[in-house]
């Protein structure tokens, strides 16, 4: 296994010298490359500046690297943002390189092929990777900003903007593949009393606790969102009425069962739930409206129950 150490780029400040500068690239690997090799790295660095999409950055880099080193497959992983991208075929013969710039790890990339890599190819890959790190850093920063814009800062789950986007996408997919789609909306019962009697900090802790309960209860394919103060929604792909009602019942019981202890006081929360399934004439808006009306029916029925519309 080969590595590209942090020390190889640690002496250079991007704000002082552009990352694609020939001198930076030559010094970054501490190897004396010729003009032709510098042109290779410059070509790749230039191509990588055309996008901030991580998948495209990796794809462009692999496409360009293949001009000089035979590669059958590659994999990029970055645990901090839960990124795991694969290109081509996987083989046992591989080289793995940790990627980093000063004070920031950028994940790692693995190159694979059916035959062993040579020492010269290892040397070339190390050199060419220097043209990847800064475009990759920019792409990861952009991806992080996008993810933050779609996350609820209090609970860490997806927010209303993410829900709207997901609804549009999943309704389209369900129609295209003729698969069922269900939506559950959840409202915590009498939540205002917690804020009024115990304070907003206690209320925030309850919301976080409920969000974690939902994450522990839903299936891996389900998507959970916080779209209002004490309101949550769960989007269930490939799920009909029976499956939606079963999950809704598990959620209702889990919220009621999982009390939270605050300042020696045990707080038991309950929730009202409304469920709906996508029908032939539904849009993403009408699907949500049906689930929301079912929720209000659950409230009218005495709360801590489920209604389907």
- What residue spans in the chain does CATH classification 3.30.70.270 cover? 160-308
Mean pLDDT of the chain: 87
* SS3 category, 25: helix
Write the pLDDT tens digit of every residue in 112-146: 999 999 999 998 898 899 889 999 999 999 988 88
pLDDT band of residue 8 (cuts 50, 70, 90) is very low
What is the chain's alpha carbon radius of gyration, rounded to the nearest angstrom?
A: 26
Distance (Å, rounded) from C-alpha 42 to C-alpha 23?
11
Mean pLDDT of 100-109: 93
Helix, strand or coil, per DSSP, at residue 157: coil
Longest CA–CA span in the chain (Å) reads 78
Which residues does 146 contact at the CB level (< 8 Å), separation at least 6? none
Residues of the chain with CATH 3.30.450.40: 6-149
Class of domain 6-149: alpha beta
Q: What is the pLDDT of residue 24?
A: 40
Q: What is the pTM of this model?
A: 0.66
- Most confident of the ranges 116-130, 148-162, 239-253: 239-253
- pLDDT tens for 179-235 read 999 999 999 999 999 999 889 999 999 999 999 999 999 999 999 999 999 999 999
Mention the CATH class of domain 160-308. alpha beta
Neighbours of 104 (CB within 10 A): 13
Q: Which residues are catalytic?
A: 230
């Amino acid at each position: 296994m080969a590595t590209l150490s942090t020390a190889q780029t640690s002496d250079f400040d991007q704000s002082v010298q552009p990352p694609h500068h020939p001198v930076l690239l030559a010094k970054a690997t501490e190897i004396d490359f010729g003009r032709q090799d510098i042109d290779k790295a410059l070509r790749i660095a230039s191509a990588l500046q055309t996008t901030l999409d991580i998948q495209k950055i990796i794809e462009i880099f692999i496409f360009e690297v293949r001009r000089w080193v035979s590669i059958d497959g590659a994999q990029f992983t970055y645990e901090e943002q839960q990124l795991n991208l694969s290109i081509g075929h996987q083989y046992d013969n591989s080289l793995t390189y940790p990627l980093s710039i000063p004070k920031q790890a950028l994940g790692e990339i693995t190159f694979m092929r059916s035959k062993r890599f040579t020492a010269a190819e290892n040397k070339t890959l190390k050199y060419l990777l220097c043209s990847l790190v800064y475009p990759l850093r920019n792409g990861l920063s952009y991806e992080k900003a996008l993810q933050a814009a779609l996350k609820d800062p209090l609970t860490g789950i997806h927010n209303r903007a993410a829900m709207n986007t997901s609804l549009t996408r999943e309704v389209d997919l369900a129609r295209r593949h003729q698969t069922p789609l269900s939506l559950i909306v959840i409202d915590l019962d009498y939540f205002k009393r917690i804020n009024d009697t115990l304070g907003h900090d206690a209320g925030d802790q309850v919301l976080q606790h409920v969000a974690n309960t939902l994450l522990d209860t839903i299936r891996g394919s389900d998507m959970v969102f916080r779209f209002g103060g004490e309101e949550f929604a769960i989007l269930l792909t490939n799920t009909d009425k029976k499956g939606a009602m079963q999950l809704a019942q598990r959620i209702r019981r889990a919220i009621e069962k999982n009390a939270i202890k605050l300042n020696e006081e045990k707080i038991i929360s309950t929730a009202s739930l409304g469920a709906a399934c996508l029908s032939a004439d539904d849009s993403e808006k009408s699907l949500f409206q049906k689930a929301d009306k079912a929720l209000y029916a659950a409230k009218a029925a005495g709360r801590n129950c489920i209604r389907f519309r």
